[in-house]
Amino acid sequence: MAKTKNRWLIAASAVGIHASIGSVYAYSAWKMPLENTFGWSSPKTSMAFSIAIFFLGLSAAFLGRYIERKGASKGGLLSAAFFCTGLIGSAAACWYENITLFYLFFGVVSGIGLGLGYITPVSTLVKWFPDRRGLATGLAIMGFGFGGLICAQLIDQFVPMQEEIVLHKDVKTYDYLQALESDPAAAARMIEGAPSLESYKAQSTEAAALYREKQTDSAEYAVVKATTDDYRSTLIYDKKSIASAFFFLGIIYLCIMVPSALYIAPPPEGYAEKFAAADPKKAKAIALKGEMTAKEALRTPGFYGLWLMLFINVSCGIAVIATAKKMGYEMVRLPVEMASLLVMGISLFNGLGRIIWATFSDFIGRSNTYVAFFAIQIIAFPLLANLTGAPVLFMIVTFLILSCYGGGFASIPAYISDLFGLKEMPTIHGYILTAWSCAGIVGPMINAYVYKQTHSYQGSLYVFGGAFVIALIISLLMKIEIKRINRHYSAQQIEAARPHTHGE
């Protein structure tokens, strides 16, 4: 008889897979190197991230049944193959400065790996932790959030900033770099009259201080504002280091994902029953009210309530993630060091939110947890738009938003198992994750459109704050749906227990 595997090592393997694919959350750390070095516009670089999230949702939806049939281990290996091939292919795309190739490898190929890797460990881990389903999903999906924190550090090491310079606002960094290579005299003319970096930063700091002190009508503010409005600081990176970073990250994550996938396995038959028998106090937590197939779940309002809540939460949060570093740099003039800290903090709180909120949901219930998410963010997004003169508070509110964003992801699988059971959870979870794929396109598109129209991120933050009002209403309606489903299961159980006579 095969020895039962350790459920905590299963959890560690799940975290290994999710921490690897979660590196996608460090994408905002890639944006400035890609845009400045290759001349790709912000909407174009954001599109690569959106494509990856879109294919994450599609692969999760259509390959959920494959995971059910073939098992989590094979799903994890396939995820590693797609995801790491996507990163290595992205290295080639950067080397040849080909954004179409970048869309194919980073967006499509690694996106498929993301979807497979995301759903592979979750349903398996829920079965190993029948007493704490929220904790189980939080453990796995926590790794996804922390993956960005780890990757952001690796990107900073692999792609160090070479230089920070000041350019006129109408001069693109890429154009300056091209001129520097082909016509140094033209490059010199581009920076002629520009203040030194030290002078520019000093005037930016002074402008921010005067703004906080509400002295925007003063002559002093007009002078420093003229300089900061006409010029901008920009970062210079090395093309070769960007390509090599994608290549080495692909190799590193392959070495983590393959061993993790090989260890993952479902618990033995009857594991939950034996677990309950060993600790009768946990029997109530372990018991599921009923089981639904994916087709049955699709016919319930509850499925669409979950889909819409995830869609809104992700649309708003992912727009912040994709542009966080640039938003901080432009809105509150965060120094380069603090902007990197912002990216790290986003990944940290994204990960912490997953484990803390998911565990909390075991005690207060999933529906109450989602009500809390949306109530917090209705206030947080408009507040963020008004913190242009308070960089530290700006970072704190951003971290709070990202904790709710991560918690929304981590609590969804347990919410699904509460409503529909474990019978076809990977398939149902995959269908729900199509909300993520849609949100990955809609959120950044709204953000980019409003930014293009207003040259500021504040407008989109107000739009997202309004969207959370709708999400809050849906989360309250879900309480009614939960009661309806519970009555349905109770009626089924009563009918099954009722003695039947012949001829009935």
User: What's the 3-state SS for 126-164?
Assistant: HHHCCCCHHHHHHHHHHHHHHHHHHHHHHHHHHCCCCEE
Per-residue pLDDT, 410: 86
Residue 314 sits in the same domain as residue 331: yes
What CATH number corresponds to the domain at position 405? 1.20.1250.20
Distance CA 504, CA 502 (A): 6
Contact of 408 with 373, CB cutoff 8 Å? yes
Of 180, 213, 236, the domain-final residue: 236
* Cα(285)–Cα(81) distance, integer angstroms: 37
Q: Which of 236, 252, 279 is the last residue of a domain?
A: 236
- Per-residue confidence of the chain (504 residues) as pLDDT tens digits? 456 788 889 989 999 999 999 998 788 889 889 988 898 888 889 889 889 988 988 898 888 888 878 888 999 999 999 999 999 999 999 999 999 999 999 999 999 999 999 888 887 888 888 777 778 778 778 888 788 888 988 998 898 777 788 888 788 888 877 887 888 888 888 888 888 888 888 887 788 777 767 777 888 888 777 777 778 778 788 889 999 999 999 999 999 999 999 999 888 887 766 665 555 555 555 555 567 888 989 999 999 999 999 999 999 998 888 777 778 877 877 776 777 788 778 878 988 898 899 888 888 888 999 999 999 999 999 999 888 778 889 999 999 999 999 999 888 988 888 888 877 888 898 899 899 888 888 988 898 888 888 878 888 899 999 999 999 999 999 988 888 877 766 666 555 556 655 544
Helix (H) or strand (E) holding 291: none
Residue 498 domain-assigned (yes or no): no
CB within 8 Å of 37: residues ≥ 6 apart: 174, 177, 237, 238, 239, 242
CA pair distance 109, 119, nearest whole angstrom: 16
| Polymer length of the chain | 504
Contact 118, 145 (CB under 8 A): no
CA distances to 153, 185, 315, 326, 456 from 446, in Å? 29, 40, 9, 16, 12
Q: Is residue 150 part of a domain?
A: yes
3-state secondary structure 88-129: HHHHHHHHCCCHHHHHHHHHHHHHHHHHHHHHHHHHHHHHHC
- In this structure, what token pair is assigned to residue 38? 């290759």
Tell me: do 333 and 277 sit in the same domain. yes
Tell whether 499 is covered by a domain.
no
Are 295 and 398 contained in the same domain? yes
* In the block, residue with structure tokens 């040259």: 455
211 and 346 assigned to the same domain: no
Give the span between the Cα atoms of 18 and 29, in whole angstroms. 19
The reply to whether 139 and 193 lie within a common domain is: no
Count the alpha carbons within 13 Å of 274 in the hemisphere toward its beta carbon.
8
Residues 156 and 266 in one domain: yes
The total number of structural domains in the chain stands at: 2
Does residue 179 sit in the same domain as residue 125? no
Q: Is 206 exposed, middle or buried (0-12, 13-18, 19+ CB in 10 A)?
A: middle
Question: Do 137 and 20 form a contact (C-beta atoms < 8 A)?
Answer: no
pTM listed for this prediction: 0.76
Same-domain status, 319 and 287: yes
Structure tokens that stand for 152 in this block? 């952001």
Please give the angle made by the CA atoms of 154, 253 and 57, to the nearest 5 degrees: 105
Determine contact, residues 231/64, Cβ cutoff 8 Å.
no
- Three-class HEC string of 226-262: HHHHHEEEEEECCHHHHHHHHHHHHHHHHHHHHHHHH
Same-domain status, 267 and 190? no
DSSP letter at 169? Answer: T
Residue 325 tokens, joined: 């570093």
Asked whether residue 467 falls in the same domain as residue 365, the answer is: yes
Residue 434 and residue 312 in one domain: yes
| Listed residues 185, 203, 236: the one ending a domain | 236
Residues 141, 358 contacting (CB under 8 angstroms) = yes
Judge if 48 and 194 occupy the same domain: no
Q: Domain of 398?
A: 7-161+239-492
Distance CA 446, CA 304 (A): 22
